[in-house]
Each structure stands twice: as C-alpha cells, then as structure tokens.
Amino acid sequence: MDRKARETLLILISVSLLINYVETMVVPAVPKIQQDFSTTETLVAWVTSAFTIVGAVVSPVFGKLGDIFGKRRVYLLSMTFYSIAVVMAGFSPNIYFLIGARAVQGLGFAAFPLSLAIITDILPPEMIATAQGIISGTMGIGTALGLVVGAYIDQDLGWQYAFHIAFVISLLLLILAFKLVPETGVRKKTTIDYIGLGSLSAGVTLILVYLTQESSWGWLSASSLSLLVPGLAFIAFFAWYEQRAKSPVIELKLMKIRNVMVANVAGLISGIMILALFYGVIYYTQLPHPFGLDLDVISAGLTLAPATLVMFVVGPVLGRLINRTGPKPILALGSLVMMLGFYMMIINRSTPLDVTVDTVVGMVGLLCLMIPIVNMISVSLPPEDRGVGIGMNTLIRNIGSSVGPVITTSIMSSYQGAYVLPFDGTYMVEILPSSTAFDLIFTVGIFMAVLNLILSVTVKNYRFSAKPKKEVIVESK
C-alpha cells in the first residue's frame, strides 16, 4: 500500500469512527434531553430515529450520485452536511430543532458506504477485505466510545458539549479529507433518475417511520397503515418503474447476480440480529433484580465495551482470512458463532461478566457476517455501479436494524412480570419484561443465524491468489 492509499484509509477510518461514536453517544443522553426540553418519550425517540431513517434513505441515493459525479465529491458533501448538523445540534433551542439537526446528520451517514466504495477503487484486490474489516470494526470501537466516553461527557458536561466536541473533530477531519482523499473509480455517464430516487426515498422513509412508531401506534392501527400502505405502494412503483427507466437508480439486473442477492438478504437478517442483541443486552443489564442485572447506564455500556473493542481487532484478521478462504466459509462460520453467542445469552447471563463474555462471542460472529457481505457486494459489482450497490446494501441492513428493535420491544411487552417494591409505607407494583421475554429474543437471534447459515451455502465462493506482478481471482462454487 502506497503512502497516498494509507493516508486515505486513515481518514476514512477516522470519519467512520466519529460517526459511530456520535450516534452511540446520543443514546445515554436521551433521558436528559427529554428532561431539558420537557417533552414526551415518543417525541424524544426521534432524536435517534431521525438520523437512522435519513441515513438509510440517502445511502443508495448518495451512492448513485457518487457513481455519477465522483465518490470524492459526494463524500466531501456528505461530511460537510454532517459537520454543519453536528454544530447545530449542540446549540438546539428546542426539541424540534434538535430532531431537524439529527435528520441532517443522517446525510453524513452516506460517508460510510462511500468510504467502502472508495477503498475498493484505490486498493489492490488482496487488501480490500482487510481494509473493509478495519472500517467495519470502527462500528465496534465507535460504539464502545459512545457508550462509555459519551456517557461520561453527557453526565459531567451535558449532552450539548458532546456535540460541541464532536463538531471540532468533524471539522478537522473534513479539512484533512479535502486535502487527502483522492478522486477514484469510473464515473458513470448517465442522467439522474429523479422519479426513481423520489419513489425509493418516499417508500423507504414511510416504511421506516412505520417501523419506528409501531410500539406507540400498533401494527394495524389507522395511523400505522397510513404509513405502511403508501410506503409499500411507492416501493412497488419503484420496482416497476426501474425496469423501464432509461437511467435507473439501480439496475435490477444487478440484483440477479447471485452474490449480490445473497449479500443483501444476509444483510437484512444480520441487521435484525445486531439490534436484537444490542437491545436485549442493554435492557436486560439495566432492569432491577431478579429481572435483570440492575446496572446503571455507564456500567451497562461497559458490559458491551470489550465486545466492541474485540471487533476492531478481529476485523482486519477476518479480512485477510477472506482472501485465503473466500467469503463463503467465513459467512457460515459467522452464522455458527452467532448461534453460540445467542445460546450463551439464554443459559449464561447471571452476572455482568457472563453477559460480557456472551456478547464478545456474539459480536465476533456478527463481524464474520458483516465483512463477507460487504466484500461480496464490492467485488461482484462493476466499478461504475459500486457506490449505489454498497449504498443499497447499507439501506437494506438499516431496514433490518429498524426491524430488530420492533421485534425486541414487542416480545418484551408480551411477556412481562410484576416487580413489587416498598414505597412510602406501602407497596408499588411495576410491570417489567420477564426472563421468558429475553429467552425468546435470543431464540429469535438463533433462528436468524440459522437462516444466514442456509444462505451461506448458496454463495459463489472466490479468493484472491497473489502471483508475481498480477493478482488472480480464483472462483469456485
């Protein structure tokens, strides 16, 4: 790897790390934000949902724009929006302004799929998986920093200062990215399909809002169906229109490539698994005995920290391993390790140390899924469609991530027990999720891992074999 490539990779890693940190640091601050603005739980939930929804929608859109106008230009545009929105969030005068700022921050999420496309353009084939492993691993260490460091900042300085500090870092990284990130890849000579982009964005937005509001409105309420039905209609129109458009957002024929299809379906399933694991652990560790471990927010975050740090270490190792074995065995291994991790959560979660060990196993398994999925997309698609392809995969994984909390909270609300505690000379009864609820959540995780194991059998395997002055891709079924 030459110096220019190393500098570019370092910037891409740092930006991904920052984005994952900021999006996790917001979570422990939500109760304080609700208190500061005297708002409701439903409204304050949009502080996290706004970013997730916008980030999911813009991933394929910005990926397409990157294929047309150049990935560097769109990457810098994404970072610029993100930096502006972070400083806006820190000075929010009310909850609506903060939600708007968080929505604009969602435009910055496109930097993640664009960075994966950029490294695929600039690195030799045998180094792509390793670099993808490092960038994917930033999700782990960024999450750890957000849960622990972010929680301390929120507690001691206030959530506003968490955004102020993040803005200074983001501005510095934007300047460095402007100087160091090169133009890469092949630009696609085509026009922008505004109808396709509009229908895709509208459909995904409505469906994600539906999933986000399900816990408040119910699956089949009039309010929920007013989002779901038109959302599905927009997606159906998008699928119909794209087959007839002169310059489609996504050439659906690319979805017929076996590894692209498998990677997208596996990405959807993996998105469900990661949020089922995270939500299950976070809720369980903070519930009072005997329902949970009765930990505070920071201590609960610390139970996850070792697992997320392990992800950052294991990611590059898995990347190098994919070059030798191909993605197929790693995808299968990840499914098996995820099964083990979820099973351990069912039978072995009586102490914080038990949960930490279980989570380490589960997160290693998750990483064994994520890296092959991204690698299959980037290797299987032609360079001129790489940006939108990785963006679409990111969108699909985000949809899965939105389904995960819905499944988790639905199970917790369906299986509950009474918690009795003394209060002012009498007793107060609180209804909390039971042990059965968490057993079912982790059982759903095992089922999802089994589906991914079945999918791994259908992967068309490949590996990179180094020869003098030439890299050879060796394919096998």
Whether residues 215 and 295 share a domain: the answer is no
Joined together, the tokens standing for residue 116 give 């994966």
Whether residues 185 and 212 share a domain: the answer is no
Whether residues 360 and 383 share a domain: the answer is yes
Whether residues 112 and 234 share a domain: the answer is no
Residue 302: the pLDDT is 77
Among 229, 246, 263, the domain boundary falls at 246
- 270 in Cβ contact with 373 (< 8 Å): yes
As a whole number of angstroms, the distance between CA 178 and CA 140 comes to 26
Task: Give 294-308 pLDDT, tens digit per residue.
Answer: 887 677 777 877 877
- 154 in Cβ contact with 25 (< 8 Å): yes
Joined together, the tokens standing for residue 264 give 């997208």
CATH number, domain with residue 392:
1.20.1250.20
Question: Using DSSP, how many helices (H) and how many strands (E) does the chain show?
Answer: 16, 4
Task: Give 50-81 pLDDT, tens digit per residue.
Answer: 887 888 788 888 888 888 888 899 999 999 99
Whether residues 251 and 363 share a domain: the answer is yes
Q: Is the pLDDT score of 85 beyond 90?
A: yes
Q: Is the pLDDT score of 476 beyond 60?
A: no
Task: Give 121-165 pLDDT, tens digit per residue.
Answer: 888 777 777 787 777 767 667 766 776 777 777 777 888 888 999
Whether residues 148 and 219 share a domain: the answer is no
How far is the CA of 330 from the CAs of 262, 314, 432, 465, in angstroms? 14, 13, 38, 17
297-313 burial by CB neighbour count: b if 16+ within 10 A, else e? beebbbbbbbbbbbbbe
Whether residues 253 and 399 share a domain: the answer is yes
Q: Which domain holds residue 219?
A: 193-246
Count of domains for the chain:
2
Rounded to an integer, the average pLDDT of 350-364 is 91
Residue 454: the pLDDT is 94
Whether residues 168 and 20 share a domain: the answer is yes
- Quickly list DSSP for 118-168: HHHHHS-HHHHHHHHHHHHHHHHHHHHHHHHHHHHHHHHT-HHHHHHHHHH
- 310 in Cβ contact with 363 (< 8 Å): yes
Q: Which of 1-5, 249-253, 424-428 has the lowest mean pLDDT?
A: 424-428
β 470-475/426-433 pair status: unpaired
Which band of pLDDT confidence, cut at 50, 70 and 90, is reported for residue 459?
very high
Whether residues 179 and 212 share a domain: the answer is no
Residue from 22, 140, 107, 118 nearest 66 by CA: 118
Joined together, the tokens standing for residue 101 give 């700022």
Task: Give 437-447 pLDDT, tens digit per residue.
Answer: 899 999 999 99
